[in-house]
């Protein structure tokens, strides 16, 4: 199946099997390994990417379903060497321990702040409940989201 | 990771809990173009995948691929092919003829006469041992006069059973192996120890050590599940050596959950106390369900007794520990290495004993805890040192004040649907397995440090950082000693060929023991800098002083009070180069002389819904004594994460088996292995973390560990809070809604 996807702002064409997962396309063919495999069944959120600006689980999306659409991975978030405010906030608040869940969390956080620029703690917890972290107990992650929201409001 | 010409590996795993392979036909897989690997094609070496203990304390019962699998998921063969999909298809084309054997899934059942023997023979070092009653190893220790327990005013004896937990580290066990032209291999793997990985691969495959390069790579969580060399590593090496191509092998989540888990333990504990509020003594029987193989069962038997006797002063202590084989996934360390399990039991019984003798549980703890000047068993009976820093009293008294402890609810006065309770629990963990004398546990590390020609430094260490901030702490330690900023010390990516030995990142030793090596090497480099500066300044090396000059962004060495006698690090390094003095560099190994406990204490408030059995967290106050706090934000992060894992252990996690087919009841799906999400944890305002004001004299700049102590008291604390809410005690983990409802029905009808 021939498909065309805009990945991190660049148009790319692929010839894929219909059962190819977006996760595997992104990792194995584009070498964008910041998107992580954690469970493969939509439980952990480590593979979260944006599809036309909305957070989706790349292990739950077929590559062919991304045809003609725009995909943003964690590699497309920073502006060159300048980190995104959400990335900065995660570092500053110590929200990263092993870091494996971090790309998924950052993609979910960006989607949240796009929908709701000033979320309450309850709204943050609700939005991020599909992203799973085994290291942090979520404390510094919640703080990072609050801090990122403040940064983005200027 | 990927390499040109790379193959993808897949492991053929036993679908039976116990079987003998009568025949294996790989022709179908080979016809598809796959490279196959069978038990006959790997070295016939029986090994232990964890090399932290000395050989005379290391039991061995593993093979790279076995023809007699002992659990569902054990590796019996492997393939490598051009894609993961092709490899999977090839795997499915392998035909295996099994003779299915009897199996047991419970440690107590497994020890009974007539139970199917799981291993007939195993090795201790190089001696062949016969296994009897499926007991892999055992340990007995008695100290003191049994009369102490006999004379106790109150004695309680109970049986407890912990849950079987899966680490659920985000990154599944994975490896990349590249065969090299010189007959060697390069390895990138999920590991907590690159040097022990190299040691084991040398033992199994006989490749000279210098030709095995094991590289440090970022690790997506581990929590003890890669102290041992993960089975995928040994299999992938076999595939790469046979195919002469790079092989990548990553487990799926369903495979990973059948690869490792924490030790499930059954305890029979008897504790006695006097009416004066002092403990008299105790007797502990511990049955560790180790699963189908030994990873570190013998040292764990020692640690279980060590953790038990180091919580509270027991004039008499009597211990029997048995590590029992079952046909389940082999158990391994999981943050705390038996300490969360035994601490849950002891902290539960301490509350019960306090109630019986009419003392407040907090006061009972303050009356009996082991603290400064006492002997601490840091890693079983062979690793002991004297406690030199202790914040237990500060943690308990400050915490009690913060939560108004002495006015907590009385369970007998609560009758409504929602009932609230406060619990207290304390714990600790060792910081490293250091001690003044050698023991059965290896614990030393090392580091290299050199000054660059611009006055910055390169730091090289084999110690792995799992995301706990360990290397950040090392950098701060080095920078502090050398009077430079942290960003002037670079961490250099390293491997076994470019580093000196470090045993492993485990036992909360990263900051204390690894940081000790960092400090030692920094002190050596500083000496050389002083020598060079002394020559340049015409001053005595021991008399010069060092400060950081913010304007010049350089450390400056100066002769105090003498104008003009100063020189920057950059100038020193340049001069040393131009005059051919050499590089200010050092490489050092370091063994800590002590194993100081870092102490923790929790106060937790819960609300139990007596209609649904659900337990909700309301408030948590956590105190920790970790000596000097080197990374305040990251150290607090360890407490947050430790609490979440402990909470999960108490109320959520378990891995039951289906005795009909020997597989996990959840069939490997993490959708049926729930761990906390953002919604399950408490609001930021309801969590307080504080650090006691202590200084560990043997630690780098006074520091101790934190990783494991953050988790160890949690289950006991939460269980005590549930008791305070309901007036009911639980003797099995996890404390699920069903168990709560059953207990309430029994109590209240």
Q: What pLDDT score does B721 carry? A: 98
* Structural domains for chain A: 2-76 (3.10.20.30), 85-153 (1.10.150.120)
pLDDT > 80? residue B720: yes
Q: Which residues pair with B385 in a beta bridge?
A: B376
Determine how many CB atoms are found less than 10 A away from the CB of residue B501: 17
CA distance B258 to B260: 6
Q: What pLDDT score does B749 carry? A: 82
Residue B660's nearest CA partner among B417, B327, B413 is B327
Chain A residues touching residue B640 (CB < 8 angstroms): 136-140
Using a CB–CB cut-off of 8 Å, the residues of A that contact B are 28, 31, 33, 36-41, 43-44, 46, 93-94, 96-101, 121, 124-126, 128-143
Task: Write the CATH number of the domain with boundaries B338-377+386-436+594-748.
Answer: 3.30.365.10
Query: What values do phi and psi take at B202, rounded to 5?
Result: -65, -45
Mean pLDDT of B25-38: 98
Token pair for B138: 């055992």
Q: What pLDDT score does B413 carry? A: 87
Chain B residues touching residue A27 (CB < 8 angstroms): none
Q: What is the pLDDT of residues B300-341, one digit of tens each?
A: 999 999 999 999 999 999 999 999 999 999 999 999 999 999
- Nearest neighbour of B677 by CB, restricted to A99, A132, A140: A132
Are B640 and A140 inside 8 Å of each other by CB?
A: yes
Q: What pLDDT score does B411 carry? A: 83
Query: What is the separation of C-alpha A136 from the centre of its chain, rounded to a whole number of angstroms?
Result: 18
Min distance B658 CA to chain A CA atoms (Å) = 22
Query: What is the separation of C-alpha B120 from the centre of its chain, rounded to a whole number of angstroms?
Result: 30
Min distance A138 CA to chain B CA atoms (Å) = 6
Are B218 and A125 inside 8 Å of each other by CB?
A: no
Q: What is the pLDDT of residues B421-441, one digit of tens each?
A: 999 999 999 999 999 999 999
Chain A residues touching residue B669 (CB < 8 angstroms): 41
pLDDT > 80? residue B631: yes
Chain A residues touching residue B644 (CB < 8 angstroms): 136-138
CA distance B122 to B392: 43
Mean pLDDT of B23-44: 98
Sign, CA dihedral B183-B189-B194-B200, equals negative
Cis peptide before B734 (omega within 30 of 0): yes
b/e per residue, B316-332, with b = 16+ CB within 10 A? bbbbbbbbbbbbbbbbb
Q: What is the pLDDT of residues B129-182, one digit of tens each?
A: 999 999 999 999 999 999 999 999 999 999 999 999 999 999 999 999 999 999
Q: What pLDDT score does B561 carry? A: 93
Are B678 and A142 inside 8 Å of each other by CB?
A: yes
Q: What pLDDT score does B412 carry? A: 84
Are B637 and A136 inside 8 Å of each other by CB?
A: yes
Chain B residues touching residue A33 (CB < 8 angstroms): 1
Are B677 and A140 inside 8 Å of each other by CB?
A: no
Q: Distance between the two ends of chain A, CA-based, in angstroms?
A: 45
Q: Which of A25, A135, A143 to mutate to test the interface with B (most CBs of B within 10 A)?
A: A135
Are B171 and A40 inside 8 Å of each other by CB?
A: no
Measured CA distances, B266 to A65, A85, B269, B397 (Å): 51, 49, 10, 33
Give the nearest chain A residue to B689 (CA atoms): A139
Using a CB–CB cut-off of 8 Å, the residues of B that contact A are 1-2, 167-172, 218-223, 250, 252-253, 466-469, 633-634, 636-637, 640-645, 669-671, 675-679, 681, 683-684, 687
Are B678 and A138 inside 8 Å of each other by CB?
A: yes
Domain ranges within chain B, ordered by starting residue: 338-377+386-436+594-748, 445-590
Which residue do the tokens 């050389």 mark? Answer: B528
Give the nearest chain A residue to B252 (CA atoms): A39
Query: What is the separation of C-alpha B574 from the centre of its chain, rounded to a whole number of angstroms?
Result: 44
Q: Which residues pair with A94 in a beta bridge?
A: none
Q: What is the pLDDT of residues B661-718, one digit of tens each?
A: 999 999 999 999 999 999 999 999 999 999 999 999 999 999 999 999 999 999 999 9
Q: What pLDDT score does B743 carry? A: 97
Cβ pairs A/B, distance under 8 A: 121
Are A98 and B219 inside 8 Å of each other by CB?
A: yes
Three-class DSSP category at A10: strand
Chain B residues touching residue A143 (CB < 8 angstroms): 684
Are B637 and A140 inside 8 Å of each other by CB?
A: yes
Min distance A4 CA to chain B CA atoms (Å) = 23
Token pair for B33: 């173009």
CATH topology identical between B338-377+386-436+594-748 and B445-590: yes
CA distance B36 to B242: 9
The residues, ordered by sequence, that sit 6+ positions from B173 with a Cβ below 8 Å of its Cβ are B190, B225, B226, B230, B231, B232, B250, B251, B256, B259, B260
Min distance B169 CA to chain A CA atoms (Å) = 7
Mean pLDDT of B79-98: 98
Length of chain A: 154
Helix intervals (H) in B370-514? 392-403, 470-482
Chain A residues touching residue B168 (CB < 8 angstroms): 134
Are A140 and B669 inside 8 Å of each other by CB?
A: no
Q: What is the pLDDT of residues A87-137, one digit of tens each?
A: 999 999 999 999 999 999 999 999 999 999 999 999 999 999 999 999 999
Q: Which of B6, B84, B170, B221 to mutate to test the interface with A (most CBs of A within 10 A)?
A: B170
Residue B187's pLDDT band, with cuts at 50, 70 and 90, is very high
Q: What is the pLDDT of residues A56-98, one digit of tens each?
A: 999 999 999 999 999 999 999 999 999 999 999 999 999 999 9
- Nearest neighbour of B669 by CB, restricted to A41, A44, A100: A41
CA distance B484 to B78: 51
Token pair for B484: 């430079």
Give the nearest chain B residue to A146 (CA atoms): B684
Q: What is the pLDDT of residues B449-471, one digit of tens each?
A: 999 999 999 999 999 998 888 99
Mean pLDDT of B286-297: 98
The residues, ordered by sequence, that sit 6+ positions from B216 with a Cβ below 8 Å of its Cβ are B194, B462, B464, B493, B494, B495
The residues, ordered by sequence, that sit 6+ positions from B634 with a Cβ below 8 Å of its Cβ are A94, A97, B468, B469, B472, B473
CA distance B220 to B226: 11
Chain A residues touching residue B648 (CB < 8 angstroms): none
Q: Distance between the two ends of chain B, CA-based, in angstroms?
A: 59
Burial environment of residue B73 by CB neighbours within 10 A (0 to 12, 13 to 18, 19 or more): buried
Give the nearest chain A residue to B673 (CA atoms): A43
Q: Are B475 and B489 in contact (CB under 8 A)?
A: yes
What share of chain B in percent tops pLDDT 70?
100
CA torsion B105-B108-B113-B117 (nearest 10°) is: 40
Are B678 and A98 inside 8 Å of each other by CB?
A: no
At the second CATH level, the architecture of B445-590 is 2-Layer Sandwich (3.30)
- Nearest neighbour of B641 by CB, restricted to A125, A131, A135: A135
Token pair for B618: 């309301």
Residue B442's nearest CA partner among B654, B591, B652, B650 is B591
- Nearest neighbour of B252 by CB, restricted to A33, A40, A96: A40
Min distance B473 CA to chain A CA atoms (Å) = 13
Q: Are B160 and B474 in contact (CB under 8 A)?
A: no
Token pair for B599: 């102490």
pLDDT > 90? residue A154: no
Give the nearest chain A residue to B469 (CA atoms): A97
Are A100 and B220 inside 8 Å of each other by CB?
A: yes
* Mean pLDDT estimate for chain B: 97
């Amino acid at each position: 199946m021939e498909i065309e996807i805009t990945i991190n702002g660049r148009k790319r064409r692929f010839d894929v099997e219909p059962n190819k997962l977006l996760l595997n396309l992104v990792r194995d063919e584009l070498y964008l390994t910041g998107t992580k495999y954690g469970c493969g069944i939509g439980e952990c959120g480590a593979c979260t990417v944006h599809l036309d600006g909305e957070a989706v689980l790349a292990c739950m999306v077929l590559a062919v379903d991304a045809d003609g659409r725009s995909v943003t991975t964690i590699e497309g978030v920073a502006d060159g060497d300048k980190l995104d405010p959400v990335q900065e906030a995660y570092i500053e608040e110590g929200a990263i321990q092993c870091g494996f869940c971090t790309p998924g969390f950052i993609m979910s956080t960006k989607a949240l702040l796009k929908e709701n620029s000033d979320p309450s703690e309850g709204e943050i917890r609700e939005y991020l409940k599909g992203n799973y972290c085994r290291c942090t107990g979520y404390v510094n992650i919640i703080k990072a989201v609050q801090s990122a929201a403040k940064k983005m409001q200027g | 990771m990927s390499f040109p010409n790379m193959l993808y590996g897949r492991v053929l795993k036993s679908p039976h809990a116990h079987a003998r392979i009568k025949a294996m036909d790989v022709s179908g897989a080979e016809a598809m173009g796959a490279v196959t690997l069978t038990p006959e094609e790997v070295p016939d070496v029986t090994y232990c995948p964890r090399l932290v203990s000395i050989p005379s304390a290391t039991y061995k019962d593993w093979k790279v691929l076995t023809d007699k699998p002992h659990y569902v998921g054990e590796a019996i063969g492997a393939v490598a092919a051009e894609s993961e999909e092709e490899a999977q298809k090839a795997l499915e084309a392998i035909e295996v003829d099994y003779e299915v054997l009897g199996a047991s899934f419970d440690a107590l059942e497994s020890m009974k006469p007539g139970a199917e023997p799981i291993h007939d023979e195993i090795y201790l070092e190089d001696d062949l041992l016969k296994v009897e009653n499926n007991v892999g190893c055992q340990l007995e220790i008695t100290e003191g006069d049994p009369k102490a327990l006999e004379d106790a005013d109150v004695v309680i004896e109970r049986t407890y059973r912990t849950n079987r937990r899966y680490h659920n580290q985000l990154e599944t066990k994975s490896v990349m192996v590249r065969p090299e032209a010189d007959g060697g291999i390069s390895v990138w793997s999920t590991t907590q120890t690159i040097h022990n990985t190299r040691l084991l691969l040398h033992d199994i495959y006989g490749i000279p050590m210098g030709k095995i390069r094991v590289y440090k790579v970022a690790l997506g969580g581990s929590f003890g599940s890669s102290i041992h060399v993960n089975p995928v590593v040994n299999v992938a090496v076999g595939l790469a050596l046979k195919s002469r191509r790079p092989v990548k092998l990553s487990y799926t989540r369903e495979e990973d959950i059948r690869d490792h888990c924490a030790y499930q333990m059954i305890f029979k504990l008897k504790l006695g106390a006097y009416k004066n509020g002092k403990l008299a003594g105790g007797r502990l029987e511990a049955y560790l369900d180790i699963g189908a193989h030994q990873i570190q069962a013998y040292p764990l038997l020692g640690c279980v007794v060590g953790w038990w006797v180091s919580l509270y002063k027991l004039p008499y202590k009597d211990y029997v520990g048995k590590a029992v084989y079952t046909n389940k996934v082999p158990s391994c360390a999981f943050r705390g290495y038996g300490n969360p399990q035994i601490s849950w039991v002891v902290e539960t019984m301490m509350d019960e004993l306090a109630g019986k003798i009419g003392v407040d549980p907090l006061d009972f703890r303050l009356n009996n805890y082991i603290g400064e000047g006492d002997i601490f068993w840091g890693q079983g009976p062979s690793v002991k040192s004297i406690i030199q820093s202790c914040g237990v009293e500060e943690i308990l008294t400050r915490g009690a004040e913060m939560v108004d402890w002495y006015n907590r609810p009385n369970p007998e006065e609560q009758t409504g649907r929602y009932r609230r309770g406060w619990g207290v629990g304390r714990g600790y963990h060792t910081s490293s397995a250091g001690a003044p004398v050698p023991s059965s546990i290896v614990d030393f590390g090392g580091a290299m440090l050199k000054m660059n020609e611009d006055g910055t430094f390169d730091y090289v260490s084999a110690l792995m950082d799992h995301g706990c901030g360990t290397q950040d702490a090392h950098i701060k330690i080095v920078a502090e000693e050398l009077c430079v900023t942290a960003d002037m010390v670079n961490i250099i990516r390293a491997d076994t060929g470019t580093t000196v030995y470090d045993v492993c990142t485990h036992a909360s030793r990263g900051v204390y023991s690894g940081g000790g090596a960092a400090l030692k090497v920094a002190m050596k480099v500083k000496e050389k800098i002083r020598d060079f500066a002394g020559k340049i300044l015409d001053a005595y090396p021991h008399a010069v002083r060092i400060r950081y000059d913010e304007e010049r962004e350089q450390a400056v060495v100066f002769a105090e009070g003498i104008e003009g006698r100063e020189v920057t690090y950059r100038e020193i390094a340049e001069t040393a180069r131009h005059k051919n003095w050499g590089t200010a560099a050092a490489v050092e190994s370091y063994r800590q002389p002590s194993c100081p406990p870092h102490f923790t204490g929790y106060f937790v408030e819960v609300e139990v819904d007596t209609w649904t059995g659900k337990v909700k967290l309301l408030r948590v106050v956590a105190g920790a004594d970790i000596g000097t706090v080197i990374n305040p934000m990251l150290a607090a992060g360890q407490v947050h994460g430790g609490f979440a894992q402990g909470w999960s252990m108490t109320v959520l996690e378990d891995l039951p088996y289906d005795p009909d087919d020997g597989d996990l009841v959840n069939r490997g799906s993490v959708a049926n292995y729930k761990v906390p999400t953002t919604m399950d944890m408490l609001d930021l305002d309801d969590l307080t973390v504080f650090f006691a004001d202590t200084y560990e004299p043997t630690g780098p700049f006074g520091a101790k560990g934190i990783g494991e102590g953050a988790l160890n008291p949690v289950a006991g604390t939460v269980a005590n809070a549930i008791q305070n809410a309901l007036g009911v005690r639980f003797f099995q983990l996890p404390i699920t809604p069903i168990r709560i409802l059953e207990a309430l029905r029994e109590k209240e009808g």
